[in-house]
Amino acid sequence: MQLRSTLVRVLAAATLVPALALAAPNATPAPAVPRPSKQYTVEQFMTTTKLSGASFSPDEKRVLFSSNESGIFNAYTLPLSGGKAKALTRSKTDSTYAVSFFPKDERILFTRDQGGNEANHLFVRTPDGKERDLSPGDKLKAMFVRWSDDDSAFYVLTNERDARFFDLYRYDAKTYARTLVYQNDTGLSLEEVSPDGRWLAFNKVRTTNDSDIHLYDVEKKELTHITPHQGDAFFQASSFDPNSSALYFLTDQGSEFKRVARYTLATGVVEEVERADWDVMYTYFSRKGGFRVTAINEDGRTVIRVHDQKTGKLLALPQLPAGDITSVRISDSEKRMAFYHNGDRSPSNLFVYDFGTKKVSRLTDARNKQMDPEDLVEAQVVRFKSFDGMEIPNILFKPHQASADAKAPAIVWVHGGPGGQTRKGYSPVIQYLVNHGYVVLGINNRGSSGYGKSFFAADDQKHGHEPLLDCIEARKYLASLPYVDAERIGIAGGSYGGYMTLAALAFHPDAFKAGIDIFGVSNWLRTLQSIPPWWESQREALYKEIGDPAKQEQMLRDISPLFHAEKISKPLLVLQGANDPRVIQPESDEIVQAVKKNGIPVEYVIFPDEGHGFTKKKNEVEAYSRMLGFLDTHLRASGPAPVN
């Protein structure tokens, strides 16, 4: 399960369709001539390499990033001139993610948890290959924040003192000696530290659409609430400017969508800086302040703006094939820019752009060369009106071979969240299912992010009802398409999407022919009572979003599929990570036991070395092959069924 606001960005493991690529607003499925499409194995899809992160070496001749080329994520470097990636870490059991080069030498920082339990520790690796845990101990979580302006130190959050709250420490870059900067006793969420270390920006989330920013003066030890307001309004700190003179933040006060504003530290004056017709997701500066990068959530895709602070104009980004530029990182010298680019049929690849020569270089080739991109499909943004007239946006994937003469089975795919978003971009599991003949409709039911604050809040305290009815309407929309077999439509999803799958089968038992629950909630009472301790700062907002287990027990029982499992009459596949700290294994154990009593087919797969999502290729191969096998047995081969 994902939380909203800050946690929607941080806890992205539950969202199985990445936030990338090109959208077509208000598109409707265009007629297409069926073409042959070669089918590929799950192993071929998983041979595709996943990449993330980018940090330039001190001499800016190499870039540090994360890759699962070995079957599990590790830290690698690549020369900007091209060549083969060099593995710096070689873990075979626990996913390892690169964080940053040290600014003045060859050491690197990286993070690693234990089997997907999300209790990440921060490590340093020296050039001789030795690793040191900078956050030793049990039952703690550590997170890198940023480097100090003079490169002599870096900031780290850790909840070792109190599992509920994260304290801020300043680590000496040479000795690793640390100093406590801020002891967090009130559950504020640190968002940013000013470059000079004088100011800390904290967020406080109260409800889905109501939050505040607090500024802490490290020298004076004073905490100031800088966003007092009436009614609901979203405020979130984003970035200090390089001179530590202003805080840039996001707000939707007085509008549907989030925009960028600036708070001047010396005067308290607030000014609007940037807005768009969609939500601004974040904005930040390059190290020297020559550029400011903004990302916009534009109808299921990411649009990047790079502002040249000297000229006041937008930088012309490199011309690349259809898709998105994301994860922009500008080097300290401001001579180069690293970024990722992907499309619906192309996984993310790492590029570097030279501002002086205007040359763009692709450093990686993540696609399996055995696979022809023409055999994969481009997604479309489509919309339908739900039961009450609300317009629901979706991402539609249509197999090449589907036609009115060869109708295909279909799946409603529900994202995590509740406040997640299904977006365009490369998804190996969805492309795998589509490649094998399934139409997939990635629904953005009410409550999804990216479509304005009214839409985002439209599911509050309504889970199991209106958002679920959107999924029922999605099934009707699929049934109306000429190339979909209306009698063979299933539902699937991960995390909150897993809950929606179980809820659909329990509360609308005749709507779908089969369901796939990927680490989904079956009992809201238990899940809300067993949230990870480090989510404490979000507890109030979570309870107001879904329900308070102490005050709304009966309501939460009413919407929890576990207490209505006797109504489930369609085949069910359940996938669960044994180390999941968000949706713990009993959530899946008990729903499987309950549904089996109904005498219907139930398949259950537990992954002992995974948490809330899949980080290892071998487990992805197992999970996705089981999904296809289940659908082929119970959806493609199933007979006619009653239709709502």
Percent of the chain surpassing pLDDT 90: 88
Put simply, whether the predicted model's pTM sits higher than 0.95 gets the answer no
Return mean pLDDT, the chain. 92
Residue ranges of the chain assigned to CATH 2.120.10.30: 63-182
String of DSSP letters for 259-270: EEEEEETTT--E
Indicate whether 27 pLDDT > 70. no
How far is the first Cα of the chain from the last one, in angstroms, to the nearest whole number?
29
Percent of the chain surpassing pLDDT 70: 93
Please answer whether residues 526 and 587 qualify as being in contact, where contact means their C-beta atoms are separated by less than 8 angstroms: yes
Q: b/e for 387-404, b at 16 or more Cβ within 10 A?
A: eeebebbbbbbbbbebbe
pLDDT in tens, 406-451: 999 999 999 998 999 999 999 999 999 999 999 999 999 999 999 9
pLDDT of residue 36: 63
Amino acid residing at 452:
G
pLDDT of residue 640: 41
Indicate whether 14 pLDDT > 80. no
Residue 317 to residue 242: CA distance in whole angstroms = 23
List, in order, residues 6 or more apart from 247 with CB less than 8 Å away.
Answer: 192, 194, 199, 201, 213, 215, 226, 237, 239, 240, 241, 262, 263, 265
Give 6-21+379-636's CATH code, choosing from 3.90.1150.10, 3.40.50.620, 1.20.1050.10, 3.40.50.1820.
3.40.50.1820
Please answer whether residues 22 and 304 qualify as being in contact, where contact means their C-beta atoms are separated by less than 8 angstroms: no
How far CA 486 is from CA of 118, 406, 479, 500, 505, in Å, comes to 41, 12, 4, 20, 17
Residue 624 to residue 635: CA distance in whole angstroms = 15
Indicate whether 3 pLDDT > 80. no
List, in order, residues 6 or more apart from 41 with CB less than 8 Å away.
Answer: none
Specify the pairing of strand 602-607 against strand 572-577. parallel
Verify cis geometry, omega within 30 degrees of 0, for the bond prior to 393: no
Cβ neighbours around 97 below 10 Å, total: 18
Residue 290 to residue 293: CA distance in whole angstroms = 10
- Domain 63-182: CATH architecture, name and number where available: 6 Propeller (2.120)
Residue ranges of the chain assigned to CATH 3.40.50.1820: 6-21+379-636
CA atoms within 13 A on the CB side of 428: 24
Cβ neighbours around 49 below 10 Å, total: 19
pLDDT of residue 199: 98
More confident residue, 27 or 407: 407
pLDDT of residue 139: 87
pLDDT of residue 37: 77
